[in-house]
Amino acid sequence: MSEALNRTETMALGIVLERRKGTSAWAEWAWRPVSVIPGAPPLDGPWRLLREGEGWAHFHAATLPLELFRSDTEGYKLNLSQEPPRLWVVLRPDETGEPGGVVPFVVTASAHECEAYQVSGVEMVETVPMPPEVTALVRDFTEQHHVDVPFVKRERKRHFPKQG
């Protein structure tokens, strides 16, 4: 039998950003995450060009930890119920001169955690396919730690006493 997963679990993921020729007069390039590289080493120095074609290029832009927490198994369970499961990559504006003017900030498997970033309006949140080895880790972690919390309907308080 395999060792029990920890209460939290972490996996390094390389974030791959795609640069495409912009379609508007205001932006020369459009940037978006397109995939992750499970187990990628830390990226020291500038972004690494992985491949390119006519009008596009893919860069290993950062290596971020995918962190799984016992308190968020409901979000992982919801994500795993989708076909296919996804990872959410959060990009923040960058002032340090990185190629795209954005920097990968967070990667998450939680359908709930990504919502907090989507409402901020500052970050850009995009999904990428969840690779099979990441899906297996998230599924194992969720199966080991998820506890269903029964729904309890609250009774409404009466504002006025009952007339007798």
Three-state secondary structure call for residue 74:
helix
Residue 157 lies in a domain: no
pLDDT, tens digit, 9 for 90 and up, residues 98-115: 566 788 999 999 988 877
CA-closest candidate to residue 151, choices 68, 69, 74: 74
Residue 2 lies in a domain: no
Residue 100 lies in a domain: yes
Chain centre distance of CA 124: 11
Residue 86 lies in a domain: yes
Write out the two tokens for 88. 């959410």
Three-state secondary structure call for residue 140:
helix
Residue 28 lies in a domain: yes
Q: Could you count the other beta carbons within 10 Å of the beta carbon of residue 46?
A: 11
d(CA 13, CA 135): 13
Structural domain harbouring 35: 9-145
pLDDT, tens digit, 9 for 90 and up, residues 107-146: 999 988 877 777 767 788 999 999 999 999 999 999 998 6
